[in-house]
Structure 1
Amino acid sequence: MYLFFKRFFDLISSLVLFIIISPLFLLLWVLVRIKHGKPAFYKQIRSGKGMKSFTIIKFRSMTEEKDINGEYLPDEQRVTSFGKFLRSSSLDELPELLSIIKGDMSVIGPRPLPISYDDYYTEREKLRFNVRGGLIPPEVLYNNVQPTWDEQLEYEAYYGENISLKLDFQIIMAVFKGLLKRYKNDYGEYVRESLNVERKEMKK
């Protein structure tokens, strides 16, 4: 019953919010085009509920700069100061409202991760796929805005196993405190090794 209510809430809240922030959305689109060139959106295939893949959309926070061999420069070299602001404020994630409206995502849930990570989850961590991925991650409840992969995936597994109205309410209440801490800690500077790379190296 709660999952039905959750989907109803997701649809209505994301539609209303998208309408309200549409002027800001348009302004950010223009600024991203000016600062980073086109396209303004970053698209990537991610794994959602049941490990079903979908395309996530974000405002681009990096340039398209490449080296002499035509390969993209490391992320930390391509992230601009404006891109860091978008990340630390979470404004880069506003286009994900469209994924929520479509039904690929939820307002609250595990962060949708690249499909290249699918082979590196433990059986417990796969509990994160019991629910739709979300715009607001469970980690905000733990006041941990820069978690390790092990920490993040445990938070998400717990959420997938124990989803409830009470848990979602607690996460909503923790959101603003989490956003403030992300900004103060300069979350836009936060770069960590990809999960597949980190765990592949650990197996060596």
Structure 2
Amino acid sequence: MSGSARRTAYSALKRGLDIGSSGIALVLLSPIMIVVGVLVAARLGRPVLFAQQRPGLKGKVFRLYKFRTMKNLDLSRGLVTDEQRLTKFGQGLRSTSLDELPTLVNVFRGEMSIVGPRPLLVQYLDRYTPEQARRHDVRPGITGLAQVSGRNSLTWQEKFDLDTEYVDRRSLILDLRILLRTVQTVLRREDISAEGEATAAEFLGSSPRNTQTE
């Protein structure tokens, strides 16, 4: 079997596994999602879900869903920055990855995969170098090689290098290894935020002065 045929077979099998695993997970985890949704409404208010446009395969934009982890923007109460709006409850959701559960809907619909480069912000699209933009040659994932190799402790360039490495090396064996390492990362609650950030600093491009992390 040629390399292109193997890649086509892998993509088809992976998509089937994504549909099956996300569908089963949505059913089995629905009680947990209901409880988390109620807690988010009680602790952070409505809306319960955070929805934001993100670029997916070939840069096509879709709407990503997560549970909210931040309070609403409120100038009168001094809730302006991400650091000010992120609560301990929200940090707990992020550290356990429970905020990611609604993203399974994106996987089921074909906008994402279980494993792949994380979908970043739409405004970053015109800031990538051609090499960095190769991260969009595959569907974005809930977890990926960069997420199990340092997560938000990595620099942007380190993450992009890992993203393109995944694009070049992707296989079911590598996906399985990433999933196993993801479990370890979640249990250890490692590298959730970049130093001094609620999540990560903005990516401003790849000039020498722009060395922020995600």
Q: CA deviation at 1:120?
A: 1.2
* Alignment match of 2:165 (pick from 147, 158, 162): 158
The whole-number CA distance in structure 2 between the counterparts of 1:112 and 1:13 is: 20
SS of residue paired to 1:139: coil
The residue correspondences of 1:70-81 to structure 2 (distance < 5 A) are: 73-81=80-88
Q: CA deviation at 1:191?
A: 2.8
* Alignment match of 1:131 (pick from 138, 142, 149): 138
Q: CA deviation at 1:199?
A: 5.2
SS of residue paired to 1:113: coil
TM-score normalised by structure 2 residue count: 0.85
Aligned pairs, number: 200
The residue correspondences of 1:46-57 to structure 2 (distance < 5 A) are: 46-57=54-65
TM-score normalised by structure 1 residue count: 0.89
> Where does residue 43 of structure 1 map in the other structure?
51
Contact 2:52 2:64 in 1 (8 A): yes
Unaligned runs of 5+ in 1: none
> Where does residue 66 of structure 2 map in the other structure?
58
1:23 aligns with 2:31: yes
**CA root-mean-square deviation:** 2.3
The whole-number CA distance in structure 2 between the counterparts of 1:110 and 1:186 is: 16
The whole-number CA distance in structure 2 between the counterparts of 1:136 and 1:117 is: 19
Structure 1 residues 71 and 143 mapped into 2: Cα distance closer, same or farther (>3 Å)? Answer: closer
The whole-number CA distance in structure 2 between the counterparts of 1:186 and 1:2 is: 31
Percent identity of paired positions between Structure 1 and Structure 2: 33
Contact 1:43 1:56 in 2 (8 A): yes
Unaligned runs of 5+ in 2: 1-8
Q: Which runs of 4+ in 1 moved over 4 A?
A: 184-190, 198-201
Contact 1:141 1:170 in 2 (8 A): no
- Over residues 101-144 of structure 1, what are the superposed CA-to-partner deviations in whole Å (9 max), with x where a residue is unaligned? 00000000010111011011111111111100001121244355
Contact 2:86 2:198 in 1 (8 A): no
Q: CA deviation at 1:163?
A: 1.3
SS of residue paired to 1:44: strand
